[in-house]
Amino acid sequence: MILSVAEAGTHVELDGGTTLGPGVDDMNQPAYGAVVIGGGVVGLAAAWHLLMLGCRPLALVERFRIGHDKGSSHGSVRMTRSTYASATYAGLMRHVREQEWPRLERAAGVSLVSPRDVLFFGPDQATLGGYVAAVEAAGADVHRITPAEARRRFPSLRFSDDTLILEDRTGGAIAADETIRALHRLVVNGGGAVFEESRVIGMDRADALIKVISDHAVLEAERVVIATGAWLPELVPATRGALTVVPQTVAYFRLGAPASELPSWVHFGGASRGVTYALAEIGRDAIKIGRHVTRGAGADPDKAEPPSPDEVAPLRAELDHILAVPVRELLGSERCLYTMTGTEDFVVDHWPDDPRVVFASACSGHGFKFAPMTGRLLAELAMTGQAELPAGHDTASLFGLARHVPPGAGAG
């Protein structure tokens, strides 16, 4: 591996996939204030917040390339919304929307979230009723509309008379790829070293400085943040009883009308059809659709295969059922790896009995929109042992690992 020093305010790509920030010599730095393992949206956000808290020198280690398509941070777009079946998450989204994303946009100098109509609807009124109760309890700007009004305002979708429809007026589209790029720039230009294509294979916590052992080098750090998504159980054995990797099928279609004219939606089709979501892509005229699958036997993230035609076909059928405009062609498909807890809550916690190491599995299929907040929580936990949540919420009681691990699980 060839290493050199980046000029101030810039970064350079080096042999072996290494990106160095200003003033950083190489992976053999005597000791880092923090090493962040994982360069998805949560790891990058944590690294940025650590730098803002004055934690230097800092390194981030990513086993693939920043922006890779093997986990759950890739793609052009994500949906943001306040509609949750939990009043707690609906309330947290107000904070994230009003404070966390604007802070990131100001720092990056780019717009990352744009307003967009979001509908939650379908014939599964029992499930949707839980969302109605939660958004009312949270005071979210989400309102029920009639099928007649929905047909008038959103003529590209079909609404039967028995459909319950919620309009989320806080909805938006996150420029996901641009968010990854913006955070990467902030980390590098803030002095962080980003080491790509470097897999962490273990840690040694026996001494005052933690040794982070990768397949390229050994880094020493005062504290470690682990945000490796579907690969978290490899490095944090205590999470093995709490997390399940559930591969998702995502497909992209061209329609007979501009995709940007359609609202984003989540459709509740009941036991036979499940939950699907769709939203217009950013950067091309296409609609992104996936089925929200939260249960499964578990998968090895290193063995996830591309979707088969048999997996994509049901998504095309859903579009034919929901849309009043024709579906012209399939443009492509991909995998996204959900890392699920049994309750679909996040995990943000520290290593059992070692507060120098903190970790997150902020996924469960809805983590991207919370990433600026989750990264801040990780950084604050790593630096001070405490993290600030709005409305008096406590990180341990809300996101603690103990809520998800059966007795005796995750040992080793």
The CATH number that applies at residue 201 is 3.50.50.60
Among candidate residues 296, 397, 385, 394, the one with its CA nearest the CA of residue 337: 296
Lay out the sheet containing 218-221: strands in order across.
200-204, 210-214, 218-221
Checking DSSP bridges between strand 118-122 and strand 18-20, what pairing results, if any?
A: unpaired
Q: 65 lies in which domain range?
A: 12-71+177-240+344-403
Same domain? For 333 and 212 the reply is: no
Residue-level pLDDT at 7:
27
Give the CA distances from residue 3 to residues 13, 24, 35, in Å, rounded to whole numbers and listed in that order.
Answer: 9, 10, 18
pLDDT score of 117 more than 90: yes
Same domain? For 232 and 366 the reply is: yes
Same domain? For 258 and 286 the reply is: yes
pLDDT score of 21 more than 60: no
Contact 105, 113 (CB under 8 A): yes
Between 36 and 293, residue with greater pLDDT: 36
Angle (nearest 5°) at CA 261 between 259 and 263: 90
Contact 135, 142 (CB under 8 A): yes
Question: Quick one: what percent of the chain has pLDDT higher than 70?
Answer: 91
pLDDT score of 338 more than 50: yes
DSSP 52-94: HTT--SEEEE-SS-TT-SSSSS-SSEEEE----S-HHHHHHHH
Confidence of residue 30 (pLDDT cuts 50, 70, 90): confident
pLDDT score of 296 more than 90: no
- Domain holding 139: CATH number? 3.30.9.10
Residue-level pLDDT at 27:
59
Q: What are phi and psi of 87, to 5 degrees?
A: -65, -30
On the 0-12 / 13-18 / 19+ scale of CB atoms within 10 A, 68 is middle
CB count, 10 Å around CB of 190? 17
Residue-level pLDDT at 130:
97
Same domain? For 259 and 299 the reply is: yes
Name the domain count of the chain: 2
Same domain? For 162 and 254 the reply is: yes
Query: What is the Cα–Cα distance from 133 to 212, expressed in whole angstroms?
Result: 46
Query: What is the Cα–Cα distance from 372 to 117, expressed in whole angstroms?
Result: 22
pLDDT digits (tens, 9 = 90+) for 227-254: 999 999 999 999 998 999 999 999 999 9
